[in-house]
Structure 1
Amino acid sequence: MQDIEENKKRTTKLEGCDFSTRGRWVYDESYPLYTRRSCPFIYEGFDCQGSGRLDKNFTKWRWQPQDCEIPRFDATKMLELMRGKRLLYVGDSINRNQFESMVCMLMGDIRDPNRPRISHAKGTYSFYFVDYKFTVEFSPSVFLVEKGTKRVGQKQVQTSLRIDTIDQGSSRWRGADILVFDTEHWWTDFKTNSGKNFYQEGGKIHPFLDVHTALRKGLMTWAAWVDKSINPRKTQVFFRTSSPTHFSGGEWKSSRSCIGATEPLPKPSGMANKKDVVLEEVVKQMKTRVTLLNITSLSEYRIDAHPSAIKDCSHWCLPGLPDAWNELLYLHFLSDS
């Protein structure tokens, strides 16, 4: 009787429920939602079983919020909701992780006679679901702002980051019906020359700028572009919060603490991510409505979900954790329908 009463209290409505931070991971034999056999488009770096990982438990965990329900992802319903639309993920390789997850989730079970038909040109980040006239794409842009480069021999080498100029690839972002952004993965001292002679505004390169100040300036450039270029009556804008890594101390060069992990952590650190705080402050100042897809806390548990066989403690296995991120995205679409 108590279980029935508890279920009655749960809701799938977004208002008044914390879907992202209050909850736990539940082992569920009905997962995963797809396999590497049903989805042959998984990048080898995300294909953990193909890379030699022998255990499969990491594919079986489902996020269960404490006071509400996340409906199981229904590929057919999602495709109907997206009929005639264009869903575009913009950002770094973690957003590629989520993009590939969505493509695989939509393809469903290989045994399904109603499996959707897709059109995909090899080497592109674009999948067209023919019967629904629906496109899912990924646009690489690790910083969202423009990189300064120079040619060294046959290669273009990055020399600076123009934090006051939007990425030239932004011309592709216009016209999408749904935009899902991320960027924080590369805003680290390791990736930005420790802020020394790297960040540029106008014709000036700062001798030094700390990463959080630079991130704020870069996000304000992105926010100004969104407010100027996006029609909120046509386009929904999401921004995914930071994806946690499981290196000791959180540093890229530190030891890889995810190696050999086969179960989620008992609890996350509970510490606020400074970059997410910057993101929230910038979004609050925008004219355009931007929905934060808060995945940081629930993902911090999942030390077991990385491609640890190739010693990668920052990206995620597919099938795996990014599927839960897309289930949260799916919940937003259901609530809006």
Structure 2
Amino acid sequence: MGSVHPFKHQSHSFAKKFLPWTLYALLPIALIRLYFYPIPHSLSPTDQLPPNNPIIITTPSPSQEEERSHVQIACDYSTGKWVHDKNGPLYNGTSCGTIKDGQNCLSHGRPDKGYLHWRWRPKQCQLARFEPTNFLQLLRNKHLAFIGDSMARNQLESLLCMLATLSPPQLIYRDGEDNKFRKWHFPSHNVNISVYWSPFLVKGVEKSNSQNYNKLYLDSVDERWVSDLDHIDMVVLSMGHWFLHPAVYFYGDSVLGCHYCPGQNCTEIGFYQVFGKAFKTTLDTIIEKRASSGIPIDVIVTTFSPSHFEGDWDKLGACPKTEPYKEGEKKLEWMDEEMRKVEVREVEEAKEKGERFTNFRLEALDVTKLSLLRPDGHPGPYMYPFPFANGVTERVHNDCVHWCLPGPVDTWNEILLDVMKRWEGQSRSGR
């Protein structure tokens, strides 16, 4: 669409006489305008074609008039690359007292520090550095609960450490072995953040010395967290790795089958469908108990977090890499791909069920692919303090599943904050 020349209806002599002086007058105004409001970089044609399941963020426009509105840009945070970041993390291994001992790689003597200096750069948008003030303001007077397995705890402890750089959390509740049920309070914004140990989300009996397999009841959610659901405003769900263990599956009084259960006289059915069913039961229960009651609730599903074992878990070099994979070097496949696919599918189906409720919001926090590219972010042998203080031993236990804190999991909470900012910019009825 062409622009109209401002002197189109003037005579040629008039334009010749006054046009140069007009341009001289406009030039300094234009320079001042560019100095205070630089022209933003435009998106390339490929950037304007988002992949499936985009996350919408809002970006302020340059002029003061346009700052009162927002431009919506589609962005898939799971597509991008890790770039070097000289700034490093917001916190260290001693600045907050909430890091589980096995993930405190700095305090345990990990010698290389390069894993601390990477930031995730999505292909189609910018991911802002975490802002503790913004997060607590968005959560003011609310209760956020992380529910799931040790990955839920890993993400929770990362969040607490980043928030502690602004406002120290107060531990107000602790119950269960290994701190599996805890709650913190941030008086500055009247915010509660808690963690519930529930590795299956549904009702389950964990394996023990007398029972070498888990029992899962797929038609009922875990009462330990659902009994508090009326007092929770936002939920982050995270599970997956416990479904790899031997298990027998029940639905009501019927045995559906099992996974890796020799001697139990059950049909082997694997765990992918069971994993999906557990999520379906969980999301359906939240919709039924909260959305249908008219009480608002926001739900985040953190997708499956890949492990990076390259050798035996008790041998040196189980996850030896010290840098991220480069773009295109590692492909999402096999179990990691399937677990993510199951979660995304269940989220989309639950979104359709919850569309009629304006008080229910649900989003998949798709971290599987970006986490796959960080084989350097696990504790490895530094799950224990100074494992080589007395020399290199023949056998050393490695953790190539959980994440060092600080580490890549901090990025999950940067994306979580961006989702919360987008929700804040939308009315519930205008989703």
Give the TM-score of the pair, scaled to structure 2: 0.68
Q: Which residue of 2 aligns with 1:116?
A: 167
CA separation of 1:255/1:227 partners in 2, compared to 1, >3 Å: closer, same or farther?
A: farther
Aligned residues: 319
CA separation of 1:161/1:13 partners in 2, compared to 1, >3 Å: closer, same or farther?
A: same
Deviation, structure 1 residue 264: 0.4
Higher-RCO chain (CA-CA 8 Å, sequence separation at least 6)? 1
Deviation, structure 1 residue 12: 4.9
Amino acid at match of 1:279: E
CA distance in 2, matches of 1:73, 1:187: 32
Q: Which residue of 1 aligns with 2:304?
A: 242
Once structures 1 and 2 are overlaid, which stretch shifts more, 91-100 or 304-313?
304-313
Give the TM-score of the pair, scaled to structure 1: 0.85
Once structures 1 and 2 are overlaid, which stretch shifts more, 60-69 or 223-232?
223-232
**2:237 aligns with one of 166, 172, 181:** 181
SS in 1 for 2:306: coil
Query: Which ranges in structure 1 are unaligned for 5 or more consecutive residues?
Result: 109-114
SS in 1 for 2:288: helix
- Residues 171-214 of structure 1: per-residue CA shift (max 9 Å, x gap): 123331110101112121xx124xxxx11111222322221121
Q: Does 1:264 align with 2:319?
A: no
8 Å CA contact 2:183–2:194 kept in 1: the answer is: yes
CA distance in 2, matches of 1:248, 1:157: 26
8 Å CA contact 2:213–2:246 kept in 1: the answer is: no
8 Å CA contact 1:163–1:199 kept in 2: the answer is: yes
Deviation, structure 1 residue 304: 0.2
Query: Which ranges in structure 2 are unaligned for 5 or more consecutive residues?
Result: 1-37, 48-55, 60-71, 258-265, 355-360, 384-397, 425-431
Q: Which residue of 2 aligns with 1:199?
A: 249
- Residues 120-173 of structure 1: per-residue CA shift (max 9 Å, x gap): 146552110012100111111000011147997xx8876521111111112123
**1:93 aligns with one of 146, 150, 156:** 150
CA distance in 1, matches of 2:295, 2:363: 14
Work out the percentage of aligned pairs sharing the same amino acid.
30
Deviation, structure 1 residue 233: 5.4
Deviation, structure 1 residue 242: 0.5
CA separation of 1:150/1:29 partners in 2, compared to 1, >3 Å: closer, same or farther?
A: closer
Q: Which residue of 1 aligns with 2:405?
A: 318
CA-based RMSD of the aligned residues comes to 2.8
8 Å CA contact 1:247–1:256 kept in 2: the answer is: no
Q: Which residue of 2 aligns with 1:111?
A: none
CA distance in 2, matches of 1:228, 1:76: 33
8 Å CA contact 1:89–1:138 kept in 2: the answer is: yes
Q: Map residues 53-92 of structure 1 onto 2, 5 A cutoff.
A: 53-92=110-149
8 Å CA contact 2:152–2:237 kept in 1: the answer is: yes
- Residues 98-138 of structure 1: per-residue CA shift (max 9 Å, x gap): 00000001011xxxxxx424321465521100121001111
8 Å CA contact 2:169–2:184 kept in 1: the answer is: yes
**1:23 aligns with one of 80, 98, 101:** 80
CA distance in 1, matches of 2:208, 2:376: 40
CA distance in 2, matches of 1:318, 1:149: 27
